[in-house]
Amino acid sequence: MAFRGSLGLLTAVIVVALTSATAAQTAKPPKRPKLAAGADTNDARVYYDRGVLLLRREPWAAAAAFYWASRLEPGWPEAYYAQRVAGLLAQENLLIGYLEGSRSVVRSPQTRQLDSLEYRAQRLNPFFLRDLDETLFAGYLIAIYKRQRSRAGERPLDPTDDAEIRFLVDQYLRSGLNVGVRAALAASRRRFREALEYYRQMLPEYRHKAWIRTERARIFYVVGAHDSALVELNEALSELRQLDTARLTQVYVSREMLEHAVGVIHQAAGDTAAARQAYGRALQENLAYAASHVLLAGLDLLGGDTATALSEFELAVQVAPAEAPLRVAYGLLLAQTGHPEDAVVHLRRAAELEPYYATPHYLLGYVAELQGNREDALAGYRAFLARASARDRLHDMVAQRIVDLSP
């Protein structure tokens, strides 16, 4: 079979080959949430939407739904970000202490574990949209007002009363308190100009400004002001180099992460030379930053240099051996460059690391078919269909291949 869309799939897989997906398996996984009758239990989006629906009333259940979204689609940054939001909302004392900057809370192992989800999401896409921040800060306000009302003997807030919660949030925004919260809320509502102004107001008030500039860079990128985003990121990098520190706020603001973001902006603008330099600087900061190895491999492939791309992938696998999407991307490239046996090794390991992830099984079937092994090809394709959502763009093609190959 001539593989259709091989470069397109390889590019897509490279994009998702940046997450430490198996870190989620270190603890006992939560039970899968029940879905509506007839729902596709292989569809990460269905679990994500279920989590959003549950987020205010049952944040623990929402966290489980987001967890399963990330297991089905380990290259989706919003699924990790949403897990962090749900984890904070599920524990009111932790949420209040975290957003108010309590040192003991911010440095606690529980908080660091939640922050690692944010870090993972940023490695996948430093500019993903943070649409759940409004729900997060609304939860913070609910927790604060719940304490106040309890002390006053008043009725508690209903976290599902959208009108009351919206009023509460708007009242807070008008209060003139905590400009940082108002900035994040405005960004979450996609009022980007307003958010940029709030963050601008904060700059003179903070000695360490890298995280503020990073947030401004995210917004500038989203609205297409890439030059302004670069200015902010370079200012943040300058500060971090002077301070020689990588952690200034509750979430990670590291030099390698910011160089990664700089590279993404240059690559989006078509300046591959500048992008390559930025990814290289990220590796100078942290040679074990697998994302930059993968992004450099992508640039090598665009330039037709498969040998160097393979070398970058090999380095990435060495520093991040437990990343299933990374092994999937490497396996596909190996298969397409005449190394099917090596490809199978990485694809099988990816399937072991993430047993609910459909793509490794499709590629195992594809490689087996390239080798003329019909039985293994059928086994791989059937395993893919057992795990893939009905909306997966490969679903119908694979179903047809099973028909074509069946005796």
- 6 pLDDT exceeds 50? no
Question: What's the mean pLDDT in 389-393?
Answer: 94
If we measure between CA atoms, which residue out of 230, 189, 183, 229 comes closest to residue 206? 183
Q: How far is CA 176 from CA 102, 145, 208, in A?
A: 21, 17, 22
Q: How confident is the model at residue 396 (pLDDT cuts 50, 70, 90)?
A: very high
More confident residue, 64 or 168: 64
Check residue 25 and give its pLDDT: 46
Q: What is the pLDDT of residues 344-386, one digit of tens each?
A: 999 999 999 999 999 999 999 999 999 999 999 999 999 999 9
Query: Residue 93 pLDDT > 80, yes or no?
Result: yes
Decide if 198 contacts 183 (C-beta within 8 A): yes
Greater confidence, 78 or 164?
Answer: 78
Q: In the block, which residue shows the tokens 């990343």?
A: 323
Q: Return the DSSP state at 74.
A: T
The contacts of residue 280 (CB under 8 Å, 6+ apart) are 292, 296
Lowest mean pLDDT among 37-46, 239-248, 284-293: 239-248
- Residue 138: strand, helix, or coil: helix
Position 218 pLDDT exceeds 80: yes
Residues 237, 138: Cα–Cα separation, whole Å: 32
Closest CA to 203 of 219, 185, 188, 216: 216
Asked whether the predicted pLDDT for residue 107 surpasses 90, the reply is: no
Q: Which position has the token pair 């298969």?
A: 335
The model's confidence at residue 205, banded by pLDDT at 50, 70 and 90, is: confident
- Residue 60: pLDDT over 50: yes
Q: Report the share of the chain in percent with pLDDT over 90.
A: 63
User: What local confidence, expressed as pLDDT, does residue 5 receive?
Assistant: 42
Check whether 389 has a pLDDT greater than 60. Answer: yes
Look up residue 235 and give its two tokens. Answer: 């200012």
The string of pLDDT tens digits covering residues 322-335 is 999 999 999 999 99
Predicted pLDDT at 315: 95
Mutual angle of helices 192-202 and 179-188, in 10-degree steps = 160
Looking at residue 29, its pLDDT comes to: 86
pLDDT at 134: 85
pLDDT of residue 152: 66
| Lowest-confidence region among 21-25, 79-83, 172-176, 348-352 | 21-25
Q: What is the pLDDT of residue 61?
A: 96
Confidence of residue 222 (pLDDT cuts 50, 70, 90): very high
Taking all residues of the chain, what is their mean pLDDT, rounded to a whole number?
87
Name the pLDDT band for 319 (thresholds 50, 70, 90): very high
Q: Cα–Cα distance between 60 and 65 in angstroms, integer?
A: 9
Q: Are 240 and 258 in contact (CB under 8 A)?
A: yes
Residue 314 pLDDT greater than 80, yes or no = yes
Reduced to 3 DSSP states, what percent helix, strand and coil does the chain have, rounded to the nearest 5? 70, 0, 30
What pLDDT score was predicted for residue 361?
A: 97
Average pLDDT over residues 151-163: 67
Q: With 60 as the cut, is the pLDDT of residue 96 above it?
A: yes
Q: Degrees (nearest 5) of the Cα angle 138, 141, 143?
A: 110
Half-sphere exposure of 139 (CA within 13 A, CB side): 26
pLDDT digits (tens, 9 = 90+) for 246-285: 444 444 578 999 999 999 999 999 999 999 999 999 999 9
371 contact partners, CB below 8 Å, separation of at least 6: 340
- 162: confidence class by pLDDT, cuts 50, 70, 90: low
- Indicate whether 146 pLDDT > 80: no
